[in-house]
């Protein structure tokens, strides 16, 4: 009987860390930051947000769940409509409306500092999705990931925090790869 109790206790403790949605979100979050094209980054971001929305729901982090739902909508709209002829007119108002909905959802699901971190992360990610330049998009997603890291630390999401750290790493690698090469100077020569 003691072995069965030990297994059940371990399962109860590990249960939140064996979440399939958290695992998928973690993988997709890292991969999205490394994608070379804007469209691929947005598709990966939408899939990641959908997985983490389900993960946060299992943790009871309702603000995080709500922000993820808005993230999915914004990512898919930005992916399919931004820059397309005859569609630009309604994209920005839609993003403004989703930002207002995010503010309302933050207030209605308020849980203190974790909610503030999720809301700020969602706001920075919204700005990233509206940006056409991949490098600027990565910088804004970097800021969003730092905010989400605060949220995930506070709500106890091991997958979320790990994903944020990997996403920050992936975005850092992608930003570093895009830096212009430095001019090479021959050693031993003094520059004036």
Could you tell me which of 31, 48, 25 has the C-alpha nearest to residue 158?
25
What is the residue range of 87's domain? Answer: 2-177
Residue 185 lies in a domain: no
pLDDT number for residue 43 = 92
Residue 186 lies in a domain: no
Tell me the C-alpha distance between 154 and 150, whole Å.
Answer: 6
Q: How many domains does one find in the chain? A: 1
Residue 21 lies in a domain: yes
Residue 183 lies in a domain: no
Residue 189 lies in a domain: no
Tell me the C-alpha distance between 84 and 76, whole Å.
Answer: 13
Residue 128 lies in a domain: yes
pLDDT number for residue 105 = 87
pLDDT number for residue 4 = 61
Contacts for 131 with CB less than 8 Å, ≥ 6 apart: 137, 140
Burial of 2 (0-12, 13-18, 19+ CB in 10 A): exposed
Residue 190 lies in a domain: no
Structure token digits, residue 92: 């920005």
Residue 188 lies in a domain: no
Q: Show the low-confidence residues of the chain (pLDDT under 50).
A: 16
Model pTM? 0.74
């Amino acid at each position: 009987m003691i072995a069965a109790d030990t297994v059940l206790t371990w399962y109860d403790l590990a249960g939140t860390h064996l979440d399939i949605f958290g695992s998928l979100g973690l993988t997709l979050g890292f991969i999205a930051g490394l994608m070379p094209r804007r469209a691929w980054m947005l598709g990966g971001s939408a899939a990641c947000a959908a997985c983490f929305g389900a993960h946060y729901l299992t943790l009871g982090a309702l603000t995080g769940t709500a922000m993820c739902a808005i993230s999915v909508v914004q990512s898919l709209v930005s992916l399919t409509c931004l820059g397309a002829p005859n569609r630009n007119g309604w994209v920005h108002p839609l993003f403004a409306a989703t930002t207002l909905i995010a503010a309302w959802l933050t207030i209605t699901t308020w849980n203190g500092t974790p909610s503030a971190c999720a809301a700020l992360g969602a706001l920075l990610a919204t700005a990233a999705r509206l940006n056409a330049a991949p490098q600027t998009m990565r910088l804004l997603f970097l800021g969003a990931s730092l905010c989400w890291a605060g949220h995930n630390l506070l709500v106890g999401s091991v997958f979320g925090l790990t994903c944020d750290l990997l996403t920050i790493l992936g975005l850092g690698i992608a930003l570093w790869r895009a830096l212009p090469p430095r001019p090479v100077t021959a050693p031993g020569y003094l520059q004036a």
